Amino acid sequence: MEQPLDHHLAQLNIGRIRYEVDDPRMADFTNNLALVNGLAERTPGFVWRYIDVSGNSTSTRPYADPRIAINLSVWESVEALERFVYQTVHKRFYGRRAEWFEHFGALYFVMWWVPVGHLPSVEEAVGRLEYLKQHGPSDHAFDWASASAQLWKTARCAPSESAA
């Protein structure tokens, strides 16, 4: 998907957590959220991330399933997001996702273009993911495979049968 002029990239990533956020088995994840989020905020191309009352996004539950957690952010481009995801310490935590998140059979990641300055709501983001599930990739909602990015093909973590 080609990036329109005067647009940034929004992304939503969801996952079903294995345990309550304050469970000791989630500690390595929750204790490193500030590190990973801080790194994201300092990464070239980062624009914005959704933050709720928890100081990150761990209190927001837009789905009926209360164990579905979200991550919502805006980046200057697909390439900027891709570099953060696959070329920083984030990749190490992503590789450990099976420790904290259950396998998610449905689509759990979506990207879409937003006008520069627009900060998407959680409802908008959930709607984009649902659109992708129902209609497949388009300019309205897409995934890594249909984006202009290439790094994810070689740099991504090995697929896991037990986590999304």
Above 90 in pLDDT, residue 11? yes
Query: Average pLDDT for residues 144-157, to the nearest whole number?
Result: 63
Q: Mind listing the pLDDT tens digit for each residue in 92-118?
A: 888 888 999 998 778 999 999 999 999
Domains of the chain are: 7-155 (3.30.70.100)
Distance CA 7, CA 112 (A): 10
Among 51, 55, 58, residue whose Cα is nearest residue 17: 58
Instruction: Name the 3-class secondary structure at 113.
Output: strand
Looking at residue 104, what is its pLDDT? 79
